[in-house]
Amino acid sequence: MATDSMTQAATTQLPADWRDFFALTKPRVMTLVIFTGLCGLLAAPGSINPILGFTAILCIALGAGGAAALNQWWEADLDAGMKRTAQRPLPAGRLGRTDARDFGVLISAASVVIMGLGVNWLAAAILAVSIVYYAVLYTIWLKPRTPQNIVIGGGAGAFPPMIGWVAVTADITLMPVLLFAIIFMWTPPHFWALALFVKTDYANVGIPMMPVVKGEKSTRRQILIYTVLLAPIAIAPWALGYTGPIYGVISCALSLAFFLLALPVGTRTSVDGDTMKPEKRLFGFSIAYLFALFAALVADALLSPLLVA
Amino acid sequence: MTPEEEAEYRRRQKSRNYVVGGILLFLAVLFYVITIARM
Per DSSP, the residues of A253-273 read HHHHHHHHHHHHHHH----TT
ipTM: 0.88
Half-sphere exposure of A185 (CA within 13 A, CB side): 21
The answer to whether the CB atoms of A51 and B9 lie below 8 A apart is: no
3-state secondary structure of A136: helix
- As a whole number, mean pLDDT of residues B18-32 equals 96
Query: How far is Cα A68 from Cα A65, in angstroms, rounded to an integer?
Result: 5
The reported pLDDT for the residue numbered A169 is 96
> Which residue is closest to A58 within chain B, CA to CA?
B30
What is the pTM for the complete model shown?
0.86
Query: How far is Cα A88 from Cα A69, in angstroms, rounded to an integer?
Result: 11
Determine the residue type at A53.
G
The answer to whether the CB atoms of A49 and B13 lie below 8 A apart is: no
pLDDT > 80? residue B4: yes
> For residues A17 and A94, is the Cβ–Cβ distance under 8 A?
yes
Query: How far is Cα A118 from Cα A115, in angstroms, rounded to an integer?
Result: 5
The reported pLDDT for the residue numbered A9 is 42
**By C-alpha distance, which of A2, A3, A18 is closest to B6?**
A3
Half-sphere exposure of B18 (CA within 13 A, CB side): 9
The reported pLDDT for the residue numbered A208 is 78
The reported pLDDT for the residue numbered A4 is 41
The reported pLDDT for the residue numbered A248 is 96
The reported pLDDT for the residue numbered A8 is 41
Query: How far is Cα A140 from Cα A5, in angstroms, rounded to an integer?
Result: 35
Q: In tens digits, what is the pLDDT along chain A, a chain of 309 residues?
A: 334 444 444 444 677 888 999 999 999 888 889 999 999 999 999 899 999 999 999 999 999 999 999 999 998 888 888 887 888 999 988 888 999 999 999 999 999 999 999 999 999 999 999 999 999 988 888 888 888 888 887 888 899 999 999 999 999 999 999 999 999 999 999 989 988 887 667 777 777 778 878 888 899 999 999 999 999 999 999 999 999 999 999 999 999 999 999 999 999 888 877 788 999 999 999 999 999 999 999 999 998 878 766
By CB atoms closer than 10 A (0-12, 13-18, 19+), residue A12 is exposed
CA distance to partner chain A, nearest, from residue B24 (Å): 13
The answer to whether the CB atoms of B16 and A15 lie below 8 A apart is: yes
> For residues A166 and A172, is the Cβ–Cβ distance under 8 A?
yes
Q: What residues of A are in contact with residue B34 (Cβ under 8 Å)?
A: 51-52, 55, 117-118
Query: How far is Cα A249 from Cα A31, in angstroms, rounded to an integer?
Result: 26
The answer to whether the CB atoms of B38 and A52 lie below 8 A apart is: yes
CA distance to partner chain A, nearest, from residue B25 (Å): 15
Query: How far is Cα A16 from Cα A20, in angstroms, rounded to an integer?
Result: 7
Where do runs of H (alpha helix) occur along A140-207? 149-169, 174-197, 199-205
Q: Is B29 on the interface with A (CB under 8 A)?
A: no
> For residues A89 and A95, is the Cβ–Cβ distance under 8 A?
yes
